[in-house]
Amino acid sequence: MKLLVTGGAGYIGSHTVRALQKAGHTPIIVDNFSRGHRDSVPTDVLCIEMDIADSTLVEVMKEHEIEGVMHFAAHSQVGESMVNPSIYYDNNVVGSYRLIESARQAGVKHFVFSSTAAVYGEPEIVPIKEDAKLEPTNVYGRTKLMIEQMLSDYSKIYGMTYVALRYFNAAGADPSGEIGEDHTPETHLIPLVLDAALGKRPHITVFGTDYPTEDGTCVRDYIHVNDLASAHVLAMNYLHDGGESTVFNLGSGNGFSVKAIIETAKEVTGIDILVEYGDRRAGDPGTLIASSDKIKSVLGWNPVFSNVKDVLKDAWGWHQSHPNGYDDKK
Ligand SMILES: NC(=O)c1ccc[n+]([C@@H]2O[C@H](COP(=O)([O-])OP(=O)(O)OC[C@H]3O[C@@H](n4cnc5c(N)ncnc54)[C@H](O)[C@@H]3O)[C@@H](O)[C@H]2O)c1
Ligand SMILES: O=c1ccn([C@@H]2O[C@H](COP(=O)(O)OP(=O)(O)O[C@H]3O[C@H](CO)[C@@H](O)[C@H](O)[C@H]3O)[C@@H](O)[C@H]2O)c(=O)[nH]1
């Protein structure tokens, strides 16, 4: 299939582009490079510098006979969304609306969307299943839920089928060491802990120690970025084969506290990382752990990297070989 990949120069998008190539598809990237990296784009992939809100995308999709869109492009930081919500409503909600509408006008048949565990808010039952209540505790999660609702309406009324993949915490890097996580500014726990191990930061600050969890710090479900990538290929193939619109969770099914991640990072790196304890970050739920039973049974998804230590090892490999991230920003 010829597939348009928005945000394909970002962290998860760049890993998925490679998975699509390996599966025999032709990805075409659209990225405005607000947060992505040119060096993460394979040299044999067409990459168009463009915003998802640009209405001329209709012509791009028609010209390249795009069958499906994979939509990664977004702002995606929980903390930032609680400080600067307007850019989240604009880039995520308005931008996605314009993209979905362009796809409809171009006759695109399928849509795979990067949703998030943040649509659930504070769960009543863990592991979280797809039919759990949807009450986001932060603006970021709310914007993603609104996009899911748009896709549901477009599917019912215009017949454009979609899969929303609600990922939990993406982590790790391709074991090749060629691509990895490089956000500016970095806000995610694992890269920050590894930056502290590299001496690029004096310490890691734990956000909150009074959550109702075993050690008082937030519990998250960390999933290897390549396992996320393989799920995208399965989801698009499923839609191509006539599968109906639906949502799937994507996680490892295991929860790790912030303290546990820091301890595992100390083991993997062999470095005694300095830790400080701070206040809670606004909008953070205490515990998010996925049930991924649905995607396993419906799509036959089979995660390869089930151990958080292996995830951290791959992330550490990338950080050691690219201590300043991609070269393109220097
Ligand atoms: N990282 C995670 O743990 C995680 C978890 C759940 C969901 N997600 C979702 O997955 C997706 C990818 O996340 P990521 O960590 O790879 O993010 P990222 O910031 O690395 O990648 C996003 C890419 O989209 C591009 N982009 C942003 N706005 C754009 C626009 N208006 N037009 C064109 N390009 C634009 C950026 O330049 C960047 O290359 C996001 O939608 C995010 O919400 C991420
Ligand atoms: O310096 C730090 C950074 C983070 N944390 C904590 O570590 C956990 C993980 O935080 P982070 O890595 O920022 O991820 P989340 O806020 O859980 O959000 C990620 O995971 C969500 C799905 O669960 C996605 O939707 C988001 O896009 C993605 O950023 C949270 O409890 C944070 O409070 C710290 O204690 N100190």
Q: What is the pLDDT of residues 205-235, one digit of tens each?
A: 999 999 999 999 999 999 999 999 999 999 9
Determine if ligand 1 sits within 6 Å of the CB of residue 170. Answer: yes
Q: Are residues 137 and 230 in the same domain?
A: yes
**Joined tokens for residue 76:** 């995606």
CATH number of the domain where residue 10 is located: 3.40.50.720
The whole-angstrom separation of Cα 8 and Cα 14 is 5
To which residue do tokens 């982590």 refer? 171
The pick from 188, 193, 264 for probing ligand 2's pocket by mutation, whose C-beta has the most ligand atoms within 8 angstroms, reads 188
Is 330 a member of any domain? no
Q: Looking at the DSSP assignment, which residues form a beta bridge with residue 26?
A: 2
Q: Are residues 97 and 207 in the same domain?
A: no
On whether the CB atoms of residues 111 and 71 are closer than 8 A, the answer is: yes
Which position among 140, 167, 222, 326 bears the catalytic label?
140
CATH number of the domain where residue 262 is located: 3.90.25.10
The domain tally of the chain equals 2
Is 180 a member of any domain? no
CA nearest neighbour of 298 among 252, 229, 245: 245
Q: Which ligand is the nearest neighbour of the Cα of 186?
A: 2
- pLDDT (mean) for 281-305: 95
Determine if ligand 1 sits within 6 Å of the CB of residue 141. Answer: no
pLDDT band at 330 (very low <50, low <70, confident <90, very high): very low
The whole-angstrom separation of Cα 322 and Cα 182 is 9
Asked which of 230, 250, 270 is the last residue of a domain, the reply is: 250
- For the cut 50, the answer to whether the pLDDT of residue 80 exceeds it is yes
To which residue do tokens 């419906």 refer? 298
Q: Are residues 127 and 208 in the same domain?
A: no
**Predicted pLDDT of residue 283:** 86
pLDDT band at 158 (very low <50, low <70, confident <90, very high): very high
Q: Are residues 130 and 216 in the same domain?
A: no
SS3 content of the chain, % helix, strand, coil (to 5): 40, 20, 40
Determine if ligand 2 sits within 6 Å of the CB of residue 73. Answer: no
Q: Are residues 200 and 239 in the same domain?
A: no
Q: Are residues 32 and 79 in the same domain?
A: yes
Is 182 a member of any domain? no
Is 293 a member of any domain? yes
**Predicted pLDDT of residue 329:** 60
**Joined tokens for residue 123:** 């769960």
Q: Looking at the DSSP assignment, which residues form a beta bridge with residue 166?
A: 115, 249
- For the cut 70, the answer to whether the pLDDT of residue 58 exceeds it is yes
The whole-angstrom separation of Cα 89 and Cα 70 is 20
Is 90 a member of any domain? yes
Q: Are residues 158 and 11 in the same domain?
A: yes
Q: How far is the CA of 314 from the centre of ligand 2 (A)?
A: 19
Q: Are residues 43 and 156 in the same domain?
A: yes
CA nearest neighbour of 251 among 168, 164, 166, 159: 168
pLDDT tens, 128-153? 999 999 999 999 999 999 999 999 99
Q: Are residues 198 and 291 in the same domain?
A: yes
Q: Are residues 135 and 264 in the same domain?
A: no
Its pTM surpasses 0.95: yes
Determine if ligand 2 sits within 6 Å of the CB of residue 15. Answer: no
Q: How far is the CA of 272 from the centre of ligand 1 (A)?
A: 31
Average pLDDT, the chain: 96
DSSP single-letter state for residue 40 = G
Ligand 1, residue 51: give the atom nearest the CA. Answer: 32
Q: Of 14-28, 244-258, 267-281, 314-328, which range is least confident?
A: 314-328
Q: Are residues 121 and 148 in the same domain?
A: yes
Percent of the residues in the chain that have a pLDDT greater than 70, as a whole number:
99
- In the structure, how many helices (H) and strands (E) does the chain have? 11, 13
The whole-angstrom separation of Cα 307 and Cα 254 is 9
pLDDT tens, 13-53? 999 999 999 999 999 999 999 999 999 999 999 999 999 99
Is 7 a member of any domain? yes
- For the cut 90, the answer to whether the pLDDT of residue 306 exceeds it is no
Is 235 a member of any domain? yes
Is 329 a member of any domain? no
pLDDT tens, 159-178? 999 999 999 999 999 999 99
DSSP single-letter state for residue 129 = P
Q: Are residues 243 and 265 in the same domain?
A: no
* ipTM over 0.90 threshold: yes
Percent of the residues in the chain that have a pLDDT greater than 90, as a whole number:
96
- pLDDT (mean) for 312-317: 97
**Predicted pLDDT of residue 327:** 84
Q: Which domain holds residue 215?
A: 189-220+253-324
